Structure 1
Amino acid sequence: MANRRNPSDRRRARLDAARLDELALAYVARFATSRAKLLRYLSRKVRESDWIDAGDAMAACAAVADRMERLRFLDDKHYAAMRAGAMTRRGLGVRRVRAQLFVDGISSDDSGEAIAEAEEQALAAAIGFARRRRFGPFAVRAADDPALRERQMAAFARAGHSLALARRILAVAPGDEAALAALDGEAALD
């Protein structure tokens, strides 16, 4: 059997402000992130290690995040726009976008434009979601089963779309090219 040490026997890594700065730089180089997510990452690293610096660990985390913002490696407004755009293109609705930006620690000031853009693209995102999941006009056959329709409505709701929008898309029968073209035209899709 291989030599395995008990996890309690392992020595914790030593961490100081300089190493914390290196960790932050590597993190922002690898991931698009917000200030709050970077602070969560850094505070987790502090908790998992032995802090050997004379200063306060949380103050060092905040100082590193401030430095990353000054160097323009962090920009919450740009992150919000990027994240909301990606989620909308995946077919997720405004409620889901708003919730994810909240979880990512983006303030309402920084997320306002991104959420407004997601609201403008709500119909296009819902149509994309229906196309991907083969609901409504993209289904192989009409969904006459009320239980199936309820499951489809629930899927729209979980994706963050309004129920009115879901009903509107599910009301279009499969193969109804005129109604689908009208929806596409309203959503400004090609």
Structure 2
Amino acid sequence: MGHGHVRSVRPRKPLDAARLDELALAYVARFATSRAKLARYLARKIRESDWNDAADAMTSCDAAVAKMERLGFVDDQQYAAMRGAAMTRRGLGERRVRAQLRVDGIGEGDAGEAIENAKMAALTAALGFARRRRLGPYAGARASDPALRERQVAAFVRAGHSPSLARHILAIGPGDEAALAALDEAARLD
């Protein structure tokens, strides 16, 4: 085996603090992101490159993230609100929103309002989920098989909804507009 294959990975590009700032700026310009996600991206760039600066790489990484936050390009609270609202629109419940924000590295304080909003939108999100999956009031026919009903409850729970809310929605038969309206009314008083 010849020595030509040892560096078959492309040569590592030199990277310094100034270039790291440029990468950070380009990233926040393209994606709505959290502090943690930006830091993860920059850390990966540092690992893939040849660090070439008097300043420490990780210190420079933290500084670049702090700078983007200072400039208002990274705002964890705003990111959490946007991410939570998008998930609610997709029919996902508060538990899923909470879990996703944790994955995105959003702190409790910054996540609070988004989680509160997801809680308040619980019914709307769950009904959206039911509509998408054609369950309960949106099904072609009432699911009478208990095993099927439990699988449907489990699907709601995986989407972040409470089992009791799932059962409430699944108890409504297809086309029962009155029951749907009553559920809606109850949620408004919540």
TM, length-normalised to structure 2: 0.93
| Alpha-carbon distance in structure 1 between the residues aligned to 2:106 and 2:132 | 29
Report the AA paired with residue 117 of structure 2. E
Structure 1: gaps spanning 5 or more residues? none
Once residues 81 and 7 of structure 1 are traced to their aligned partners in structure 2, the CA distance between those partners, rounded to angstroms, is 47
Do structure 1's residue 96 and structure 2's residue 96 form an aligned pair? yes
SS at match of 1:12: coil
Shift of 1:8: 3.4
Quote how far apart the aligned CAs of 1:176 are: 1.1
Report the residue type matching 1:90 in the other structure. Answer: R
Structure-1 residue corresponding to 2:174:
174
Partner residue, 2:143: 143
Q: CA deviation at 1:185?
A: 3.1
Matches within 5 A, 1:18-29: 18-29=18-29
Distance verdict in 2 for CA 1:6–1:126, change over 3 Å: farther
Is structure 2 residue 53 aligned with structure 1 residue 53? yes
Q: What's the counterpart of residue 63 of structure 1?
A: 63
Secondary structure at the counterpart of residue 7 of structure 2: helix
Give the root-mean-square deviation of aligned CA atoms: 1.4
Alpha-carbon displacement from aligned partner over 1:56-75 (angstroms, at most 9, x marks no partner): 10000000011101100011
Q: Determine the C-alpha separation between the residues in 1 that align with 2:5 and 2:131.
A: 51
Aligned-residue offset at 1:6: 5.4
Distance in structure 1 (CA, Å) of the matches to 2:125 and 2:152? 15
How far 1:147 sits from its partner (Å)? 2.4
Distance 1:141 1:73 in 2: 49
The aligned residue for residue 87 of structure 2 is 87
Query: Which amino acid is the alignment partner of residue 173 of structure 1?
Result: G
The aligned residue for residue 161 of structure 2 is 161
How far apart, in 2, do the equivalents of 1:32 and 1:132 lie?
26
Q: Work out whether 1:16 is the aligned partner of 2:33.
A: no
**C-alpha separation between the residues in 1 aligned to 2:152 and 2:94?**
18
2:74 match: secondary structure: coil
Q: CA deviation at 1:184?
A: 2.8
Name the CA distance, whole Å, in 2 between partners of 1:20 and 1:59: 11
Q: TM-score, normalised by structure 1?
A: 0.93
Q: Following the alignment from structure 1 to structure 2, what is the Cα–Cα distance between the partners of residues 36 and 111?
A: 13
Distance in structure 1 (CA, Å) of the matches to 2:175 and 2:6: 60
Count of equivalent residues: 184
Task: Quote the Cα distance in structure 2 between the aligned partners of 1:86 and 1:6.
Answer: 47
